[in-house]
Amino acid sequence: MISVVTDVLRRRILDVVTYPLVVIALGVRLWTDGVGDLNTGLISGLVSGVGLAVILVPGALRGRMGWGDVKLMGGVGAVMGFPAVMAAAAFISLAGAFQAVVTIIWKGEVWDTLSAVLRRWAVRARLLSAEAAPAAPRHIPYGVAIALGTFWAMWWQQTNSS
């Protein structure tokens, strides 16, 4: 929840939150389940945390997402473990898509967004030059989607395990 607040207010997900999250999650996994395997313990947390973070690296490298989002997703993976991390990734993606649509509609940027998409396609199809006026970057605090999707996955896991 700290990351949601800092992402919304300051566009930052702090390392002082994400690094301890990863260390504590992996420590708890090691303490409760030992080294484990893909489904339990330390290995499950490591594989899930690294895997979930790696999915977002291309977005961070292209500047479409911050590195704080990547590290927070790594923390989510370390906490959730495998296979629950798969549900978390799906629910986070759905929450992020919903958040983006609501934000674009709320800010009245539907036509601006559609024209930017068309412009990008036209550049790729070589109908426009790459120097065509790029759209202004928008900030959608993905920390909100990460939190909502993670809680959704935890709820889903709890209701489907009984």
pLDDT in the model for residue 137: 65
Please report, rounded to a whole number, the percentage of residues in the chain having pLDDT higher than 90: 26
pLDDT in the model for residue 136: 64
What's the total number of domains in the chain? Answer: 1
DSSP structural state of residue 102: H
pLDDT in the model for residue 162: 62
Return d(Cα 82, Cα 103) in angstroms, integer: 31
List the single range of 38-42, 50-54, 93-97, 98-102 with lowest mean pLDDT: 50-54
pLDDT in the model for residue 135: 61
pLDDT in the model for residue 127: 75
Query: Residue 23 CA to chain centroid, in angstroms?
Result: 19
pLDDT in tens, 20-31: 999 999 999 999
Give the predicted TM-score (pTM) of the model.
0.79
Domain span at residue 92 reads 2-161
Return d(Cα 13, Cα 33) in angstroms, integer: 29
- Return the H-helix or E-strand segment holding 142: helix 142-161
Per-residue pLDDT for 100 more than 80?
yes
pLDDT in tens, 104-152: 888 777 887 787 778 878 877 877 777 765 666 667 888 899 999 999 9
Written as six digits, the tokens of 65 are 């997402």
The position carrying tokens 């993670």 is 150
Return d(Cα 55, Cα 35) in angstroms, integer: 24
pLDDT in the model for residue 106: 86
pLDDT in tens, 36-66: 888 889 989 888 888 878 877 777 777 777 7
